[in-house]
Every structure is written in C-alpha cells, then in structure tokens.
C-alpha cells in the first residue's frame, strides 16, 4: 500500500507566492500543508484536487477540497493513466527544418523517425494578442493549456501562476524530468517547472527547479547554478548574485551532480533517483557531449523506475538557434540529433506499450524552406547533397520566429486526440487526459 503525497503542490504554491507579481490571494502554504500532511487519496480525488487548485489559481480564490482519507493500492494508481509521457519539443522546428533534415539524411523518398508515428496533426502557435510567439509562451501553452503573453513563463495573461503538467505529474507521485541542449534555465524547460513574468530571469528559474522537485535535470547552463565568481566544471564563473550555490543545494536535496559524458555513461541508474547534469557554461557546445539521445536514454532509465509513472520533456533547443542564425547545416545537424532521441523514445514506448510519445515544436524559426532552384541571393544556402545524391537548396525568410503552423506527431495511448488542427494548448489537454486516465 502506498500513499500519494501532494506535498509538491504545496511547494509549488509557495513558489508561486514568490514569483507571481500580483499573487496576493493564493492558498497559503499553511493551508496547503494542512491538506497535504494527512492526505492519501484515490487518483480520482487527486484529479479533482489538482483541478480545483488550478481553478483556485485562476480565480484567485481558495477552493481546495478536504479529501477523504482513503488508502490506495499501487496498482490502482498505475491503472489510472499511462505508464509515462515523453514530450519532445523541437524548438523552432517547422516543416522546412524537418524536410531539409529528411532529405539530407534519408533522401527525398526517405523518412525520419518522427515521420513514422501513428498520428499527425497541425498546431497554431499564437501567443496572447501576438500572432508570432516565443519559446516561453509556446511552451507554457503546452505545459499548462493557456495562451499567455510573449516572454512569460508559467503564468497566464494576467500574470497569475498556472499549474503545469509536470507539477500535476509530481502531485500524482510520478517521476519527472527535463532535458535540453541549451541552458537548463532556458524558456522551454522553464515553462514546465517555473513561474516568472520574464523568461530572462534565468537565475530565478534555476532556483525554482529545485523547489519544484524535478527528478532529472540535464542540459547546459552551469553558470546559472553557481555563485558569482565561483568556478565549477567549466571555464566561466557562476552568475548568481544571491550567493547561493544551487549545485551544492541540489546535492543536499539528494541529487547526484555530474558534468561529463563519461559520468553519464557510467551512471549507476538504479541508485540515482535524482540527477542534475550540467554539460556547459551556457548552451551545450557542438558536437554535444553527451548527445541528446544519450541524455534521453538515461533520463528514461532513471524515471521509468517509478511504478506510478513518469513525465519527461526533451528539447532540441538549438534548432531554433540555427534558424535565428540562418545556418542550414546547423539546423539539419541538430534536427537529426533530435530525431535520434525521438527514435529512442519511440522504441521505448513500443516495447512498454503504454507510453504516450508526442513530437511537437513551439513555433517555426527563420521561415526555412527547401527547394531545387539556385537564386544567388544571400537568403539562400546550398547546394546540399542529400542521402540519395540529389542536390537541394535552403531558403530563409527571416532571422526571427514566424507565425506558420507547426507539425505534430504522436504515438501510443491518447495519441489519436492529436489528429487534426488545434492550438498548442491542446497538447496540454491530451497529456492531462493521459496522466489522469480520462
């Protein structure tokens, strides 16, 4: 028998009080702790509790029910939803990025791993009152189901905190993880476990990760975790003005800290319940070491040990950066690295049989297009030679994000809910259904 703790919700609410500008009427920590200290509940009651906390957050009223004390068998919790959810986000990855990478690696008649999934859909990406979104608003739509303001992480358009799918998974006793190739505290992973009005506040985002109790954190950005002037594994000193050493704090909280690919490959997964892996001062340097696939494999190995379930977000963060730089070779290389991680996720899910895998993007970057005609302009790169020997060119429309819809693929339970066209926020609804077994 096993009780399901909702203590992470209390931590989240404590966190919100610190980060949301006008959050004056949120449930107090005392109120939440009073509920959580004695709580055991069925998955259904937890669903209702999480939903009511979400409603209370949105309406700024305290509406937390008093759950009955009911003992839950482990297998009831497992049966409540899927065994796991893996959300792959190719930051800035539109159809142009996917087509170019496909032609390069598999030829014009070939397919990438992400092209070979059961379900395909098309997502609109607009932020609140802004048709061209950014990574913060785009990822918050996916993490929380709200259309929020440009640049805002984990808050709605009124700057009120929203509970994320990761926090709900934690509340259900699942293990959770965030993996990226850019800074750990960058906007996309941040939107799943932090709540700040400005995505640039990466030092605060890093602090909030530890409060949110995310079990696996892997990416770049060691500088945001170390005090100013203090060196860790990498040449540049830390940047924290508050003097705190989040690496040391994480270790005190039970995290294993690693910073090399060798440490990751030799990791004793069975004895590593919590992992912080930071593989660069800022973004990870190419070629990534460890690769995104290696990080994804270890994350799944650690998280899937939890019989309740796991949620993992994996970001191909530099597809977007390549788009801003109008660098087609970089875009294709990093899209293919992302696709390799997707291939692992697909294989894992196929063997497990009850894991939802989603491949998404937050927006397109660069207006990247693929064609066969050289035009001699500065916006065109090529020729590139594909795996079938055919030459092709890549054209760019801008150095910024674009408003075009982005492709979605999915497989596993609940994947069919992602057929058709919808806004990015619908991805949250599908993951929530999978989490709760609805």
Q: Is 291 one of the annotated active-site residues of the chain?
A: no
Of 135, 143, 144, 340, catalytic = 135
Exposure string of 39-57, with b = 16+ CB inside 10 Å and e = fewer, is: bbbbbebbbebbbebbebb
Q: Which is nearer to Zn ion, 215 or 405 (CB)?
A: 405
Q: Which is nearer to Zn ion, 320 or 405 (CB)?
A: 320
Q: Pick the piece of the chain touching Zn ion (CB under 5 A) from 208-216, 239-247, 293-301, 354-362.
A: 354-362
Contact assessment for residue 97 and residue 319, using Cβ atoms and an 8 Å cutoff: yes
Angle at the Cα of 163 from the Cα atoms of 362 and 410, rounded to 5 degrees: 40
3-state SS, residue 168: helix
Q: Which is nearer to Zn ion, 198 or 242 (CB)?
A: 198
**Which residue intervals of 20-70 are DSSP H helices?**
29-38, 43-59
Sequential DSSP letters for 55-95: HHHHHT-------------HHHHHHTS-SEEEEEEETT--H
Window 76-135: residues binding Zn ion (CB under 5 A): 91, 135
The residue within the footprint of Zn ion, chosen from 156, 223, 315, 320 (CB under 5 A), is: 320
Q: Pick the piece of the chain touching Zn ion (CB under 5 A) from 59-67, 342-350, 362-370, 371-379.
A: 362-370
- Residue 92 CB, nearest approach to Zn ion (Å): 5
3-state SS, residue 139: helix
Q: Which is nearer to Zn ion, 156 or 320 (CB)?
A: 320
Neighbouring C-beta atoms of residue 77, cutoff 10 Å: 21
Q: Pick the piece of the chain touching Zn ion (CB under 5 A) from 197-205, 227-235, 302-310, 357-365.
A: 357-365
State yes or no: residue 156 binds Zn ion (CB under 5 A).
no
Output phi, psi for 284, to 5 deg. -70, 140
Altogether, the residues listed in the chain come to a count of: 438
Nearest to 210 by CA among 171, 164, 246: 246
> What residues form DSSP beta bridges with 385?
391
- Residue 424 CB, nearest approach to Zn ion (Å): 11
Q: Which is nearer to Zn ion, 219 or 382 (CB)?
A: 219
- Residue 417 CB, nearest approach to Zn ion (Å): 23
Q: Which is nearer to Zn ion, 134 or 213 (CB)?
A: 134
Distance CA 428, CA 414 (A): 12
Distance CA 311, CA 177 (A): 6
Q: Pick the piece of the chain touching Zn ion (CB under 5 A) from 116-124, 166-174, 355-363, 366-374.
A: 355-363
Distance CA 139, CA 155 (A): 11
- Residue 186 CB, nearest approach to Zn ion (Å): 9
Binding-site ranges for Zn ion (CB under 5 A): 91, 135, 320, 362
Active site residues: 135
């Amino acid at each position: 028998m096993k009780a399901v703790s909702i203590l992470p919700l209390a931590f989240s609410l404590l966190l919100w009080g610190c980060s949301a500008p006008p959050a004056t009427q949120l449930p107090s920590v005392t109120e939440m702790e009073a509920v959580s200290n004695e709580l055991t509940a069925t998955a259904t009651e937890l669903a209702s509790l999480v939903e009511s906390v979400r409603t209370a957050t949105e309406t700024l009223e305290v509406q937390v029910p008093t759950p009955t004390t009911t003992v839950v068998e482990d297998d009831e919790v497992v049966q409540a939803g899927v065994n796991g959810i893996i959300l792959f986000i190719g930051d800035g990855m539109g159809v142009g990025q996917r087509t170019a990478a496909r032609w390069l690696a598999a030829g014009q008649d070939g397919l990438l791993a992400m092209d070979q999934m059961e379900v395909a859909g098309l997502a609109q990406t607009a932020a609140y009152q802004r048709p061209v979104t950014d990574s913060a608003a785009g990822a918050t739509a996916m993490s929380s189901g709200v259309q929020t303001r440009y640049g805002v992480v984990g808050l709605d358009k009124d700057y009120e905190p929203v509970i994320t799918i990761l926090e709900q998974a934690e509340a259900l006793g699942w293990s959770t993880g965030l993996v990226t190739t850019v800074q750990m505290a960058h906007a996309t992973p941040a939107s799943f476990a932090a709540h700040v009005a400005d995505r640039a506040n990466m030092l605060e985002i890093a602090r909030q990760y530890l409060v949110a109790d995310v079990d696996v954190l892997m990416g770049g950005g060691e500088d945001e975790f170390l005090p100013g002037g203090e060196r860790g594994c990498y040449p540049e000193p830390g940047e924290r003005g508050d003097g705190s050493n989040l690496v040391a704090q994480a270790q005190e909280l039970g995290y294993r800290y690693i910073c090399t690919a060798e440490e990751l490959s030799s990791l004793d997964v069975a004895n590593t319940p919590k992992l912080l892996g930071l593989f660069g001062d800022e973004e990870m340097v190419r070629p990534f070491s460890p690769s995104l696939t290696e990080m994804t494999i270890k994350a799944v190995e650690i998280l899937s040990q939890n019989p309740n379930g796991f949620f993992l977000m994996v970001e191909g963060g530099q597809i977007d950066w390549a788009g801003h730089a109008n660098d087609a070779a970089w875009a294709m290389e990093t899209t293919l690295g992302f696709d390799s991680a997707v291939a692992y996720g697909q294989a894992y899910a196929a063997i497990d049989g009850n894991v939802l895998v989603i491949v998404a993007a937050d927006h397109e970057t660069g207006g990247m297009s693929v064609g066969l005609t050289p035009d001699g302009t500065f916006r065109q790169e090529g020729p590139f030679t594909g795996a079938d020997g055919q030459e092709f060119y890549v054209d760019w429309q801008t150095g910024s994000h674009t408003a075009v819809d982005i492709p979605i693929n999915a497989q596993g339970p609940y994947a069919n809910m992602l057929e058709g066209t919808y806004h990015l926020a619908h991805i949250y609804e599908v993951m929530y259904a999978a989490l709760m077994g609805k």
